[in-house]
Amino acid sequence: MSLSHESFTSPSRRAVVTAAGAAGLAATLAACGGSGDPGSDASGSGASDSGTASGSGSAKGSGKGSASPLAKTSDIPEGGGKVFKEQQVVVTQPTKGDFKAFTSTCTHQGCTVASVSGGTINCPCHGSKFSIEDGSVKHPPAMSPLESMKIEVSGDEIKLS
Ligand code: FES
């Protein structure tokens, strides 16, 4: 009698527990799947969009670079000069203590002048030469002088102004 009672109640109790467990698990999975995937996708793309926008905005704002010294006065030979390719500037010292600056872009066809020698700024592309004193054309084919640029000399430092 006791055996048959045990065998009757035991399966039914197990069935109830199993059913409740399965239902609970299914509910948990549904809840996770339903709210997890779309939610994370939406917040992910939203965050990256706003991040890109603010990043490019701040990059545009920080473009000032003329504060750092271009050269030391001792870098510029007297009666000659030096080409600063990165800054696109030629600095010359025609006479002692007198510094001049010009754009390094040749007025003929836009090459970057390469050297300063023999009292002229020299373009390697077609042989134009410009005066170290005022940028005027000393040798064609260029027709126009090099554009002069403003510099400041303070102490032994030369800066673009
Ligand atoms: S570009 Fe300089 S000489 Fe032609």
- Ligand 1 site, residue 146, Cβ cutoff 6 A: no
C-alpha dihedral sign at 46, 48, 53, 54: positive
Q: Do 43 and 59 lie in a common domain?
A: yes
- Ligand 1 site, residue 121, Cβ cutoff 6 A: no
Q: Do 49 and 94 lie in a common domain?
A: no
DSSP string, 99-159: EEEEESB-TTT-PBP-EEETTEEE-TTT--EEETTT--EEESS--SPPPEE-EEEETTEEE
pLDDT digits (tens, 9 = 90+) for 49-79: 444 444 444 444 344 444 579 999 999 999 9
Q: Do 9 and 50 lie in a common domain?
A: yes
* pLDDT value, residue 107: 98
Q: Give the end of a domain, one of 39, 63, 87.
A: 63
Atom index in ligand 1 nearest the CA of residue 110 equals 1
- Ligand 1 site, residue 125, Cβ cutoff 6 A: yes
Q: Do 85 and 47 lie in a common domain?
A: no
What separation in Å is there between the alpha carbon of 153 and the centre of ligand 1? 30
* pLDDT value, residue 141: 98
Residue segments in the chain with a per-residue pLDDT below the cut of 70: 1-67
* pLDDT value, residue 161: 87
Residue 102, domain extent: 71-160
* pLDDT value, residue 20: 56
* pLDDT value, residue 46: 43
Atom index in ligand 1 nearest the CA of residue 142 equals 3
- pTM for this structure? 0.60
Alpha-carbon distance 80 to 73, whole Å? 12
Q: Give the end of a domain, one of 63, 92, 108.
A: 63
Count of domains for the chain: 2
Q: Do 93 and 46 lie in a common domain?
A: no
